[in-house]
Amino acid sequence: MLSSESADDALEHWLRALLAHARVNQGMGSALMIEEPDAPGLDCHQLILDAAASLLTRAQQRGTARADLTADDLVQLVVGIALSTARREDAEQPERLLALVLDATHGRPHRSE
């Protein structure tokens, strides 16, 4: 499935699925970000990070994703979108925000002057 897609398509597909999951399971959103050793969602959090890392690394190796981006960055951004748009009336906002994240994934790092 994802392994047969291009690196970019696989990463995008997975991030969209993560966003949908985090929005449907809103109470799980913050649990997905917990990294404390005894936290109940730690195993789930690690599986999500591992999947994100695998897909991101694949895109980075092909030169289509920013080298300075981490799996944790992506998960935090997507879960943040899910949490911040949970009670918004604009049903298209999560998709617009995810599109911004996807665009930034391929962009160049902002350099301070």
User: What single letter denotes the amino acid at residue 104?
Assistant: A
Report the amino acid identity of residue 67: A
Query: What is the reported pTM?
Result: 0.78
pLDDT at residue 102 in the model: 93
Does the pLDDT at position 21 exceed 70?
yes
Read off the pLDDT of each residue in 53-67 and give the average, rounded to a whole number: 95
Overall average pLDDT of the 98-113 stretch = 76
Q: Which pLDDT band, with edges at 50, 70 and 90, does 112 fall under? A: very low
- Asked whether 22 and 82 are in contact (CB, 8 A), the reply is yes
Pick from 54, 76, 70: which is nearest to 7 by CA? 54
Over residues 24-42, the mean pLDDT reads 60
pLDDT band (50, 70, 90) for residue 5:
confident
DSSP string, 47-67: HHHHHHHHHHHHHHHTT-S-T
The pLDDT of residue 4 = 62
Mean pLDDT of 101-108: 85
* Arithmetic mean of pLDDT over the chain: 83
